[in-house]
Amino acid sequence: MNLDKAKKRIAKQVNKGFNGYPSITLQYLGATKEVATEVVVQFTMNEGESAQEQRFSCETDIRENELIQTTLLKVIERANVNSVVEIEGVTVV
C-alpha cells in the first residue's frame, strides 16, 4: 500500500472521533516538534482498564515511513476498534 493511501485511511478513522471502546490511541514522539522518530500505539479494551502498548521507531520521520504507516493501519483494522484517537503534533522526549 502506498504512503498517501495509508495516511488517508488512518486520518479517516481519526476523524470519526471517539465512539467508545475498544479504542486505539496514536502518539508521535521525537527529539524536536518537527520530526517524529517514534510512535506509541495504545490499545484500550474497556474504560478504566490499563492500555496495552506497542512502540515503533525509525531513524527518519516515522509519519513519512510507508512501512510503519501501513503497519499502523493494519493494527487498527485487525483490532476492530470503535475509536482511533491521535494526539496532535509531536511530543518532545
pLDDT tens digits, residue range 33-90?
Answer: 999 999 999 999 999 999 999 999 999 999 999 999 999 999 999 999 999 999 999 9
Q: Report the C-alpha gap between 78 and 13 in whole angstroms.
A: 13
Q: What integer pLDDT is reported at residue 71 of this predicted model?
A: 96
Q: What integer pLDDT is reported at residue 56 of this predicted model?
A: 97
Residue 39 C-alpha cell reads as 510512535
Instruction: Reduce the DSSP state of residue 65 to 3 states and report it.
Output: coil
Burial class (CB within 10 angstroms; exposed 0-12, middle 13-18, buried 19+) of 14: middle
Q: What integer pLDDT is reported at residue 16 of this predicted model?
A: 96
The answer to whether residues 41 and 72 touch, using CB atoms and an 8 Å cutoff, is yes
The whole-model pTM stands at 0.92
Q: How confident is the model at residue 1 (pLDDT cuts 50, 70, 90)?
A: confident
Residue 19 has pLDDT above 80, yes or no: yes
Q: How many beta carbons lie within 10 A of that of residue 42, not counting itself? A: 17
